[in-house]
Structure 1
Amino acid sequence: MLAAGFLVLFIGGGARFAIGLTLRPMVEEFGWDRSQLGVAVAVFQIVSAAAMYGAGTLADRISLRLVLGGGLVASGFAIGLMSLVSVPWHAVVLYGLFFGIGNGVASIAPVGVMVTRAFPGRTGLANAVVSSGMSVGQLVMIAVLAAVLVTIGWRSVFVWLGIAYVVLLPLLLAAIPGAIDAKAHAAMPPRSGLSVAEAARTRQFWMLILVYAICGFGDFFVSTHVVAFAQDRGIDAFFAGNLLALMGLTGLLGVIVAGYCSDRSGPVWPTAICFAARAGVFALVLVDQSPLSVAIFGLVFGLTFLVTAPLTVVFVRDSFGTRNLGALTGLITMVHHICGGIGAYMGARIFDSSNRYDSAFAIMFVTSAIATLLAFALRRPREA
């Protein structure tokens, strides 16, 4: 079961960052502005966010095999056809709309529900293990795709991603044990906790929404633009692509440590440390953009990149119960991704108007500092 969740997030984590790898060669080939591809990323974030909420709700009610399998089919179809784009609206429809739906459905929201049901006593660590699939996927797939990019071209990146989805689907369907499928839980006693409406009337809910909004805002600004930023600062395409891959390696360490600490001391401290580290590296690239500083920025940000992913389920379970675990997790993740789209598009607009990312880094520094303070204001489970 952990293997199934890991595989889903492995391929989803690698595929969703492919657009950051191909951003510069695509705009150079077609003569587009970065903001034109930024629209596709923004649409992806919004659509995948809505799909996550829907998938989380469905995970509380129907077969997890059906939910995750459907998401993988849509993802593979859309990402493979990205190899054929020739005008910006193609990317908006294929990457933004269809891949957004697939990636949002086959995501941390239903996977987190699956894992939490199976490991109620080790929720933080178990979710960290499956969430590490995103880091490993980013590390392995982006490293491979960076080599494909420089030797064959950006279109082949999307072709190979489509093939990877075709290969993964039967493995996934075989790996999800029937015992933890949602249908098997239909006969269980009703789970306790708040409804979505009741949770939305609490202070804790809105604090979580703010923290995750800022998290997504920074996450997808960096993942979309870090490769192009590194190349702008003199790092060649292969090493810039591998910087994004290595962010997955440091992210693996960060997510496992965060999940382990969460099971022992709660999710507040890992969340606060995550945003404090982000504020520090955004400050670094505001004052120094040498290749060394860019590399430090990428690797340290990567350490924080997935920290909040396994903690979402922990915050929701401990604060609001398990009655609507999927729906509430999906709702918070939806806000995270919508704000991620805003961050990605904002970065593109700032670059197109100034040919630099400095103003975006300043905004990210301020919002990360605010999120650090907000994290400390989150109540621990016994207080929520």
Structure 2
Amino acid sequence: MLTRYLVVTGSSITQFTVIGLLFSYGVFFKELELEFGWSRTMLSSCTAIAFLSMGLLAILGGRLTDKYGPSIVLGISGVLFGLGFALISQISEPWHLFIIFGLFIGIGLSTHDVATLSTIAHWFPKGRGLITAIVKVGTAFGQMLLPIIAAILIINYGWRITTIAIGLIAACLLLFSASLIKFPKKLKQNDKADSNDGVIFTIEAKSPIFKKLCIIQFLYFPALMTIPTHIAVHGTDIGMSQTQAALLLSTIGAASIIGRLSVGI
């Protein structure tokens, strides 16, 4: 009984860290603009590259999760994600950011939902909607807290030290949370005897509901990241302090807590 709630805890920490850090990237825009003179188009294109990478790698992440278990997959991808964020401190050319977001950040994004939510579904056949909502509240708290923390650290220590600090802390958090996320033992035994995965996937992929869900996700993610990527730097453009602009970004996460829980219920 305790194990499945540890899985929920680990999944929430994973969501908190990955999406919280991704939302925090917008807080660094002004600093990167001032230091390198790069355009916002170039800086925001990094998130597009990360999501493209996520889309290409998500199926592989799912297959690896089925084969090796969520702990290993989330542990490796989590460490790469955190180290990737820390490596932002070393950039000097635009292509450095493209590689970091395309590989390190993209790999972390490709598993944070696939591995956690699929594992939750196995542990909670009943009440799955509410438990999934609770896990995704971790995302909301990450969106709410990490941009403010990043802004305060940037003001006091600069953007390079901030990326190193939060990147390494994130890697440790994700490694810890991965250790809590495991498949039920019965599932492991049943999977060894089940050879119909490919057939089931083919049937599901042809269903109208599956296709509609794919279209929804395709339209949803650009909207999800466009505003968070630009809202903090827009806040500073209109006279807000860096902390106030980060707080503006954080309100999105705070407001989403109600939505996530109400939909789950």
TM-score normalised according to structure 2 size: 0.88
Greater mean deviation of Cα atoms: 27-36 or 174-183: 174-183
Contact 1:61 1:182 in 2 (8 A): no
Distance 1:187 1:144, change over 3 A: same
Determine if contact 1:125/1:259 at 8 Å carries over to the other structure: yes
Q: Secondary structure at the match of 1:120?
A: coil
Residue matched to 1:19:
25
- Considering only aligned residues, what root-mean-square deviation do their CA atoms show, in Å? 2.3
Query: Once the two structures are superposed, what CA deviation does each residue of 1:97-122 show, in whole Å capped at 9, x if it has no partner?
Result: 222112322x1111011000000111
Alignment of 1:214-293 (within 5 A): 214-260=219-265
Moved more, 202-211 or 180-189: 180-189
Query: Any idea what SS the aligned residue of 2:68 has?
Result: coil
CA distance in 1, matches of 2:116, 2:187: 11
Which aligned pairs between 1:265-344 and structure 2 lie closer than 5 A? Answer: none
Match of 1:164 among 169, 179, 202: 169
Paired residues, what number?
A: 259
* Corresponding residue for residue 49 of structure 2: 43
**Aligned-pair distance for 1:10?**
1.2
C-alpha distance in structure 1 between counterparts of 2:195 and 2:119, whole Å: 16
Please list the CA deviations of residues 153-212 of structure 1 after superposition, one character each: whole Å capped at 9, or x if unmatched.
222231122221343245224423563696455257678997333333332222222222
Could you say which residue in structure 2 is the equivalent of 1:200? 205
Alignment equivalent of 2:146, drawn from 117, 141, 150: 141
Once the two structures are superposed, residues 4-47 of structure 1 have per-residue CA deviations (whole angstroms, 9 ceiling, x without a partner) of 11111111011112221111221122111111112322111101
CA distance in 2 between partners of 1:202 and 1:170 (Å): 36
> How far did 1:213 drift?
1.6
- How far apart are the structure 2 equivalents of 1:131 and 1:180? 24
The equivalences for 1:46-57 within 5 A come to 46-57=52-63
Conserved? CA contact 1:64–1:181, under 8 Å: no
| CA distance in structure 1 between the partners assigned to 2:18 and 2:171 by the alignment | 13
Match of 1:130 in 2: 135
- Structure in which a larger fraction of residues adopt helix: 2
Counterpart-to-counterpart distance in 2, 1:230 and 1:206: 38
Helix, strand or coil for the counterpart of 2:126?
Answer: coil
Q: Which residue of 2 aligns with 1:373?
A: none
| Alpha carbons 2:90, 2:160 under 8 Å: kept | yes
Residue identity matched to 2:103:
L
The more displaced of 202-211 and 164-173 is 164-173
Q: What 5-or-longer segments of structure 1 have no aligned partner?
A: 261-384
In the alignment, which residue of structure 1 is the partner of 2:4? none
Q: Provide the TM-score with structure 1 as the length reference.
A: 0.62
SS of 2:240's partner is: coil
Matched, 1:91 2:97: yes
- Which of 93, 102, 109 is the matching residue for 2:108? 102
Provide the residue aligned with 1:209 in structure 2. 214
| Sequence identity (%) | 24
**Amino acid of the structure 2 residue aligned with 1:215:** Y
For the residues of structure 2 that align with 1:10 and 1:100, how far apart are their CA atoms? Answer: 16
Counterpart of 2:39 in structure 1 is 33
**In 2, Cα distance between equivalents of 1:155 and 1:181:** 46
Matched, 1:111 2:111: no
Q: Which amino acid aligns with 1:87?
A: E
Contact preservation (8 Å) 1:44, 1:99: yes
Counterpart of 2:14, as a letter, is: V
Whether the 8 Å CA contact 1:82–1:95 is kept in 2: the answer is: no
